[in-house]
Structures are given as structure tokens and as C-alpha cells.
Amino acid sequence: MTDFGRKAGDMAKAVYDTDDDGLVDDSDKLEGSSKAQVQDHVPKSHTHTEAQITDLDHDATKIQGKTVDDTDIGDGKAITYQASGDKLVYIDPPAGGGLPKTGQTTSYRDGDDGYYEAGWEGDRFTDNADGTITDNATGLMWPQDFTGDGGNNGASVNWEDAIDWANALSFAGHGDWKIPNLFEFVSVHDCGLSQPAFPAIFTVEGDTTYWTSTTQPNATTDAHYVFTKNMRVARVIKIAPFRVVCCRAV
């Protein structure tokens, strides 16, 4: 027997306490389910696997329109009511999860970056086994090898040609590549590393320069580029030759 009281809140009681006595017990159990199954659906106490959640039927009048907070599910997904199947089902989270961590884990004083290690939580990168890596924090796909097909085979070009190359690129089964803007390129930087300042899942040379698509607004003949050595950002005239790498939104 579970006493919700003020801990579970009115939403939990409205969904699960069907006789409104402040308790979830056998008298409240859903048709075809056990007392344990009902109690297991108290918010913040979910332990079901995806298959169990998907296959567990519920009474539409008790849960329709109610969404379980995604913090209730260990893998970060949310579940909600599906009227067509009269069941709770998983909802895939949107592509990208927010501002990523910088990668700096060493703290040099209380209150600095390494002290907080703030940013998106989760498995950061997925190797797609096709020459690409998906950044699960930003929702961007990158080539695994910055000197391969997704990096113009390491050739340097001017800014206009870099954009044209990416726009025309067909790589890893996709044709919607572009060169990253300044924020996109910096987002994949690992501040805990140098030469190159990139996560080890990527193949990147340690001391070279790459174009971004971002123009300097008060000097439009210039564009921003980045050093892979330490991810320093600078600007240069667009006719200069630099390397190029592509990315795309998943």
C-alpha cells in the first residue's frame, strides 16, 4: 500500500488513486494488472523496460492526456498515452539535447568549468559505422575522419570553394552536408585535450586550420576559422586556403 500524501502530488493521485482515498492499493488496480504494477507507476519510481511499458494496457479514462515526466525513465525517454492502442508508449526525444559539456574535467579552482562540468548528460557520441559520428548533444552528424571523404581528403580551398564543395557533397548516404558555422564547429571541441582538441572518437590532425561558414560582420571579405590544436578562433580573408570539413543535422 502506497500513501501518496503530498509527496506524489495531485497529478499522481488523479491518475492512479481512482477511489480518491489518498492511497494506491488493490482497490485502484487497473484491469488485468497486479497491485505491484500499479504501485510501480508512481512518478519517479519507474522500473519497467521499454517492452513492458509498451505492452502494459491502461484504462483510457484514468491516464488519457497525462504524460509521465522523462526523468522517470532511466534512458531519458518520455512515455505518454497512445489512444489508438490504449497503452503507454515511448516518445523519442528531439534530436540534440542541449549545450554540451566542454570536456574539461580538471578543476583549477572552485567554481570553474572543471568544478561544475556543466552541460548535457548522456552518451555523447554514436559511431554510425558508415564513416560518420553523431553528436547526441547537438544533433549534428560529422565525418569520423576529418581528412577523408567528409573532409575534402585533407585538401585546402578558399572559403567560397569550401561552401560549394560541402553543398555538392554526397557522403555516407546523405546529400545535405554543409560546412559548420562557428558555434557548430566549436561545439565538438574538447577543452580537456589539445593537439588536437577533439574527442578521441574523431581522426583529426593536431595542428591545422578549418573554415567555418561564419562571415565577420564588420569585414565581410573575412570569415572565421578554427585551429584544431587548441580550437582558437580567428578570422582571415576568404581567398585564403584552409581545410574544410562537413556536418549535417540529423
- Residues of the chain within CATH 3.10.100 domain(s) are 125-249
Candidates 1.10.3470, 3.40.50, 3.10.100, 2.40.128; correct CATH number of 125-249? Answer: 3.10.100
The answer, yes or no, to whether residue 41 has pLDDT greater than 80, is no
SS3 at position 166: helix
Higher pLDDT, 26 or 10: 26
Instruction: Give me the pLDDT at residue 116, please.
Output: 86
pLDDT tens-digit map of 62-78: 333 444 443 334 444 44
The residues, ordered by sequence, that sit 6+ positions from 218 with a Cβ below 8 Å of its Cβ are none
pLDDT confidence of residue 87: 54
* Residues 204, 231 contacting (CB under 8 angstroms): no
Rounded to an integer, the average pLDDT of 223-237 is 93
Classify burial at 232, counting beta carbons within 10 Å of its beta carbon; exposed 0-12, middle 13-18, buried 19 or more: exposed
CA separation for the pair 65, 29 (Å, rounded) = 19
Q: State pLDDT tens for residues 99-140.
A: 888 889 999 988 888 888 888 877 889 999 999 999 988 999
What is the SS3 assignment for 90?
strand
Name the amino acid, one letter, at 206.
G
Beta carbons within 8 Å of 62's beta carbon, 6+ residues apart: 15, 16, 18, 30
Full-model pTM: 0.61
Distance, in Å, from the CA atom of 226 to the CA atom of 205, rounded to the nearest integer, reads 13
- Contact assessment for residue 192 and residue 103, using Cβ atoms and an 8 Å cutoff: yes
